[in-house]
């Protein structure tokens, strides 16, 4: 199957620090891919390069056959690349409804149609379990619900690739279960790439896992392959479990 997104030799250096160092990567359409690794491994820098939040020092990014290496983030959004932290910082003084209405209007040919906006907003809020909080100011939501609101805003863009950075951080156990169900549902219509430290969530959700260490890919494989990989255990899994 032709990959939806690939990188070739992708690098980002900050002075002498090689945050992302010559990464070759490929995402298959419709998969749920998790990126894991110790703090400082380059995970967030890598997805920031994919979303256009920062520019690479060298290398290439191709999305659906198009070279997007130098394309600004807002144009990548139009192509269908949504990044929760890039596009969806919550506006604390707006309601949850109005936060989601902003990206919904981007997807409509006639953004003045109040009925279409409302339908799109409520669909995204219902999928994330926030429909009953539509009228609540975002700043008054719990941290976990603000994270879900960010996901709702990303979904409202109808992405082909949804990138989630630490989405379960701040969620209660019951909310994590709902989130796992939500991501599986999203993956019916989109490709999902998530950075996640919660290993039970990763092992439950991911079709494949990419392990970063020191700016490079240390290993890739199924959850079973990653769990059994001695290098990964030394670099990361052993450290996270004491």
Question: Tell me: the pLDDT tens digits for 128-169?
Answer: 999 999 999 999 998 889 989 999 999 999 999 999 998 888
Q: What is the pLDDT of residue 237?
A: 66
The answer, yes or no, to whether residue 65 has pLDDT greater than 80, is yes
Q: What is the pLDDT of residue 118?
A: 95
pLDDT range class, residue 85, cuts 50, 70, 90: low
Q: What's the average model confidence in pLDDT over 107-133?
A: 89
The domain made up of 1-80+185-242 is a member of CATH 3.40.50.300: yes
Task: Give the predicted TM-score (pTM) of the model.
Answer: 0.89
The residue ranking higher by pLDDT, 213 or 107, is 213
Q: What's the average model confidence in pLDDT over 176-203?
A: 93
pLDDT range class, residue 41, cuts 50, 70, 90: very high
Q: Nearest CA to 118 among 128, 108, 179?
A: 108
Q: Which of 19-33, 134-148, 161-175, 226-240 has the highest mean pLDDT?
A: 19-33
pLDDT range class, residue 84, cuts 50, 70, 90: confident
């Amino acid at each position: 199957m032709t990959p939806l997104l690939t990188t070739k030799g992708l690098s980002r250096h900050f002075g002498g620090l090689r945050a992302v160092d010559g990464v070759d990567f490929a995402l298959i359409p419709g998969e749920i891919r998790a990126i894991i690794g110790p703090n400082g491994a380059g995970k967030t820098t890598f997805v920031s390069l994919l979303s256009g939040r920062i520019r690479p020092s060298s290398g290439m990014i191709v999305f659906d056959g198009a070279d997007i290496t130098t394309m600004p983030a807002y144009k990548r959004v139009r192509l269908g690349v949504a990044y929760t932290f890039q596009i969806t910082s919550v506006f604390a003084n707006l309601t949850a409804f109005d936060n989601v209405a902003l990206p919904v209007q981007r997807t409509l040919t006639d953004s003045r149609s109040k009925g279409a906006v409302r339908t799109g907003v409520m669909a995204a809020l219902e999928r994330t379990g926030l429909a009953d909080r539509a009228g609540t100011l975002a700043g008054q939501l719990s941290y976990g619900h603000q994270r879900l609101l960010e996901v709702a805003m990303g979904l409202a863009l109808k992405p082909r690739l949804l990138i989630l950075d630490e989405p379960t951080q701040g969620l209660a156990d019951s909310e994590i279960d709902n989130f796992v169900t939500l991501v599986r549902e999203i993956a019916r219509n989109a490709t999902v790439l998530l950075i996640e430290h919660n290993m039970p969530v990763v092992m439950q959700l991911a079709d494949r896992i990419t392990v970063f260490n020191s700016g490079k890919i240390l290993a890739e494989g199924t959850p079973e392959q990653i769990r059994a990989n001695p290098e990964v255990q030394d670099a990361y899994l052993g450290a996270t479990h004491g």
